[in-house]
Amino acid sequence: MITKEAIIAAHERIQSLIHRTPVLSSEGIDALVGCSVFFKCENFQKVGAFKMRGAANAVMQLSDEEKAKGVATHSSGNHAAALARAATKLGIKSYIVMPSNAPEIKKKAVKSYGGEIIECEPNLQARETTLQSVVDRTGATFIHPYDNEAVIIGQATCAKELIEDVADLDIIMSPVGGGGLLSGTALSTHYWAPSATVIAGEPTGADDAARSMAAGEIIPMVGPQTIADGLLTSLGQRTFPIIQEYVNEIITVSDEEIITAMKIIYERLKIVIETSCAVPFAALIQQKERFQGKRVGIILTGGNVDLKRLGELFS
């Protein structure tokens, strides 16, 4: 069981590597949805995503011996950039296994943060065997993107800040992919805003978390199809039990609903967010009658977009 004290200690530990991100709101958005929405802007976080929190917490707890050998992970996304940056800031090596078809912008980010990229075929098996060979060769510690206790604890610091900055939240929302952020959010809500409800948003085309909750066991995602490309992964052994216990509901949304929500955030908040970011707000819009008059905190997870791809979405 992850304790309150563990989250507090993590939050202190990672201060030097993270920003305390702002919470934004908009009269226009509140009028549109009929409730008060507080957006926790992790798109402004270091490396442009909340993943910096978990990666920093995991890397900072390694022993000197472990640090000497470096860290490794498989990720084509923000965890890769975050792990590379956290490692470089602490003067240690990072090995990032990425599928050969990962977006150029993600590869560039990892390199700019000092990570060493090892490419593999774009399939699960190649990813795992390549990672294993890197770990065997270097002795690096594998830091899983979400199924890792230190990572979950790090991500929990985000909702902790949101709760500290906005009083009396009725509902706290995040998206769910592998569940690292959602489980951390649920834990911090349990400890610091116990009367608040935790609701996740999930793309219909990658709805393994909703189906796992309904079934009472992890149902892995096979062939996800959604524009929310940060939410394709399945729940993990460590994230699922926390989500089962502390998350009240998962609302699924279509790609069309995600794009609509994303456009509203661009137009009203004037900030750049990833498609995956817009998922919980899309869930709120879909069921806005339920949210009337409530105070809702939403974690906006990241802002690393490929402008070309964005252009296609908006055109």
CA atoms within 13 A on the CB side of 202: 29
Q: Are 44 and 23 in contact (CB under 8 A)?
A: no
Name the segment binding a second copy (CB under 8 A); options: 7-15, 151-159, 195-203, 270-278.
270-278
Rounded CA separation 112/243 (Å): 34
- If one asks whether residue 165 binds a second copy (CB under 8 A), the answer comes out as no
- If one asks whether residue 34 binds a second copy (CB under 8 A), the answer comes out as no
- If one asks whether residue 314 binds a second copy (CB under 8 A), the answer comes out as yes
Rounded CA separation 48/206 (Å): 23
Q: Residue 22 CB, nearest distance to a second copy (Å)?
A: 7
Element (H, E) at 95: strand 94-99
Q: What angle, 0 to 180 degrees and rounded to 10, lies between the N-to-C axes of helices 239-246 and 180-192?
A: 40
Q: Are 127 and 75 in contact (CB under 8 A)?
A: no
- If one asks whether residue 22 binds a second copy (CB under 8 A), the answer comes out as yes
The correct pick among 12, 104, 270, 292 for binding a second copy (CB under 8 A) is 270
- If one asks whether residue 267 binds a second copy (CB under 8 A), the answer comes out as yes
Instruction: Please say which residue, 162 or 300, places its beta carbon nearer to a second copy.
Output: 300
Instruction: Please say which residue, 48 or 297, places its beta carbon nearer to a second copy.
Output: 48
Radius of gyration for the chain, computed over Cα atoms and rounded to the nearest angstrom:
18
The correct pick among 122, 139, 220, 311 for binding a second copy (CB under 8 A) is 311
Q: Residue 268 CB, nearest distance to a second copy (Å)?
A: 9
- If one asks whether residue 19 binds a second copy (CB under 8 A), the answer comes out as no
The correct pick among 48, 99, 154, 180 for binding a second copy (CB under 8 A) is 48
216 sits in the region (left: phi over 0; alpha: psi -120 to 50; else beta) called left
Tokens of 230: 């940060």
Q: Residue 171 CB, nearest distance to a second copy (Å)?
A: 25
Instruction: Please say which residue, 97 or 277, places its beta carbon nearer to a second copy.
Output: 277
- Beta strand 171-175 with 197-203: parallel, antiparallel or unpaired? parallel
Residues in Cβ contact with 120 at an 8 Å cutoff, skipping those fewer than 6 apart: 74, 97, 98, 99, 100, 126, 127, 129, 130
Q: Residue 143 CB, nearest distance to a second copy (Å)?
A: 23
Phi and psi at residue 36, in whole multiples of 5°? -100, 115
- If one asks whether residue 23 binds a second copy (CB under 8 A), the answer comes out as no
Instruction: Please say which residue, 187 or 305, places its beta carbon nearer to a second copy.
Output: 305
> Applying CB under 8 A, which residues contact a second copy?
22, 24, 28, 43-44, 48, 112, 263, 266-267, 269-273, 303, 305, 307-308, 310-315
